[in-house]
A and B are shown apart, each in its own frame.
Chain A
Amino acid sequence: VAGSGVAARLTRWSPVADAASPSHQHHPLSPGSGHSGFQAGHATVDPEINGFDPAAILRDFDWGKTSKLAGGRTLREWELVASDKTIEIVPGVRYAAWTYNGRVPGPTLRAREGDQLRIRFINAGTHPHTIHFHGIHPAVMDGTPGIGEDAGGGLIEVGEEFTYEFEARPFGLHLYHCHASPLAGHIAKGLYGVFVVDPPGGRSMADELIMVQNAFDPDFDEDNEVYAVNTVAFHFMYRPIRVTRGQLVRIYLVNIVELDPINSFHVHGNFFQRFPTGTALEPTEYTDTVIQGQGQRDVLELRFPYTGKYMFHAHKSEFAALGWMGLFEVVE
């Protein structure tokens, strides 16, 4: 065998990772490439360690504190706090994340088109941050460094705060993220979340799921080592997403992966209707695989006609084998 190695200098690990690691035997995850070799096991991150649960994030929609403005419009208010937090992204491996409200992704904010939105942002982290919302709004509310500082916006320094206020439009599937420099670093550390604006008449009843495709570069070599949906690698292989046979399932799929130009989503044993960015009510494609660039979003709708377990994963096999795979479990 001809071999060569690269050694590493280490820093101490945290008791968090220490407590989570199984002793001696590791069934991490999926031997071999792709998803065909996955072994059933027990190794996923305990949600208690991170203080958030990837499964709970699926169906956690925050409509904000709601009130009525003069004239009858709805006002929705939230408070988002940026802070540093060590999280576990794959069993035994910790990551020094930056979070909105202590979770990655941040809270899923939801409104209806035309609502007035007010988001109080407090920077309790150790670096300047912003919140940049995708959508249509005035420049001062854009969360871009260098724009809006005169009004207290732009780059929000450590210990400072700013309130973003704008109308929810257009309807669709959007996101928010920090726009401070270096941009890739601030996003990759975890400062992002989903922003859903419903059509004025709402959408049809469905089992709605937030799926944020994300990735992490824990050794900071500009190459991601861990991929996931909702932050924890392979979580949904061990905790399949349970859905009901015949029921409409609506997936809000967002790609926020940095360092890789594209990502993808593929579902086994089924096809879905694709609504790019969710800004129209007519689908554009009936398929089983969708490709997304950085920041791209799609609303996907499908029904499972049969019970059983069906995989979903990135069809970039490297991403799948590094954590971006899961299961739907279809029940009666």
Chain B
Amino acid sequence: VKGAVVALTIAAVATACGGGAGDGEFGVTHATLTPGRIVLVVANHSKDDARVAQVIVNDAFVDFRTSRNDVPPGDIEAIVVFYPWIEGESYDLELLTATGATVGYEIEEAEAA
């Protein structure tokens, strides 16, 4: 059931959001928070496939799910991060890619969608 909910969440968010990273870059365009989860939408505007290997929230590796490992050039993907976020607090997220490059995203004030 958990997997199905995650898949639906990913599909819904990915459909609703467009890319926001700069030209030639891979980045996070949007974050949506639900209890215990942070859903990130990533856009790949680079010329290479992108792979998020690990996710770090506030200097801790965390559990996450994606519907596929690789994000092709020009495509978007949703990443569901399982994290017990707290209303009103701030969070620093880092997506650690397979190459060791990191993609940062800051949530300045957590608020449920």
Asked whether, in the complex, the Cβ of A32 is within 8 Å of the Cβ of B51, the reply is no
In the complex, the answer to whether A3 meets B61 with C-beta atoms within 8 Å is no
Question: Is B12 engaged at the interface, CB distance under 8 Å to the other chain?
Answer: no
Would you list which residues of chain A between 74 and 108 have a CB under 8 Å from chain B? 90-96
Nearest CB in chain A: distance from B43 CB, A: 9
Assess whether B32 is interfacial by the CB under 8 Å rule: yes
Q: Compute how far the CA of A294 lies from the CA of B62 in the bound complex, rounded to whole angstroms.
A: 28
Q: 1/0 per residue B74-98: CB within 8 Å of A?
A: 0000000011100000000010111
Q: How far is the CB of A231 from chain B (nearest CB, A)?
A: 14
Q: Are B69 and A11 in contact (CB under 8 A)?
A: no
Cross-chain contact A32 with B53 (CB below 8 angstroms): no
Residues of chain A within 8 A (CB-CB) of B82 are 31
- Per-residue A-contact encoding for B15-35, CB less than 8 Å = 1, 0 else: 000001110111111111100
A32:B28 contact, CB within 8 angstroms: no
Give per-residue flags for A1-34: 1 if the beta carbon is below 8 A from chain B beta carbons, else 0.
1111111111111100110010111111111111
Contact B68 A4, beta carbon cutoff 8 Å: no
Q: Are the C-beta atoms of B107 and A93 separated by less than 8 Å?
A: no
Task: Check A8 against B97 for contact (C-beta < 8 Å).
Answer: yes
Query: How many B residues have CB within 8 A of the partner chain?
Result: 56
**Is A211 in contact with chain B by the CB < 8 A criterion?**
no
Contact residue among A3, A12, A93, A96 (Cβ-Cβ distance under 8 Å from B96): A93
B interface majority secondary structure? strand
Interface flag for A322 (CB, 8 Å): yes
Distance to closest chain A CB from B33 (angstroms): 6
Chain B residues within 8 Å of A21, by CB: 51, 53, 69, 98
Neighbouring A residues of B50 by C-beta, 8 Å = 10
- Confirm or deny: A57 has a beta carbon within 8 angstroms of a beta carbon on chain B: no
- CB pair A3–B98 under 8 Å, yes or no, is no
A167 at interface by CB-CB < 8 Å: no
Residues of B within 8 A of A318 (CB): 59-60
- CB-nearest residue of chain B to A323: B61
Check A218 for interface membership: any CB of B closer than 8 A.
yes
Given that A1-B109, A7-B22, A21-B51 are contacting pairs, would A218 and B96 also be in contact in the complex, using a CB cutoff of 8 Å? yes
Q: Which residues of B contact A332 (CB under 8 A)?
A: none
Shortest CB distance B113–A (Å): 7
Interface centre among A5, A26, A91 (most CB of B within 10 A): A5
Whether the Cβ atoms of B32 and A1 lie closer than 8 Å is: yes
Residues in A with CB closer than 8 Å to B100 are 93-96, 218-219
Provide the bound-state CA to CA distance between A8 and B95, in Å.
Answer: 10
Nearest CB in chain B: distance from A13 CB, A: 3
In Å, the complex CA distance between A318 and B59 comes to 6
**Interfacial residues of chain B within 32-47, with CB under 8 A of chain A in the complex:** 32-33, 45-46
Q: Is B110 an interface residue (CB 8 A)?
A: yes
Across the interface, B105 reaches (CB within 8 A) one of A4, A10, A321, namely A4
List residues of chain A with CB within 8 A of the CB of B54: 26, 28-29, 90-93
- Please, which residues of chain A bring their CB within 8 A of the CB of B94? 225
Please indicate the chain B residues that have their CB under 8 angstroms from the CB of A10 in the complex.
Answer: 26, 46, 48, 50, 97, 99, 101
Is there contact, CB below 8 Å, between B62 and A28?
Answer: yes
16 A–B contact pairs at CB < 8 A? A3-B30, A8-B97, A9-B101, A10-B48, A11-B101, A28-B64, A31-B62, A32-B60, A32-B62, A39-B63, A91-B53, A93-B96, A219-B101, A219-B102, A321-B59, A322-B59
| Interface positions of B (Cβ within 8 A of A) | 20-22, 24-33, 45-46, 48-51, 53-56, 58-69, 82-84, 94, 96-111, 113
Known A5-B27, A13-B97; further 7 A-B contacts with Cβ < 8 A: A5-B21, A9-B26, A24-B67, A26-B55, A34-B60, A225-B102, A233-B61
The 5 closest A-B pairs by CB, nearest first: A7-B27, A218-B100, A92-B53, A13-B98, A321-B60
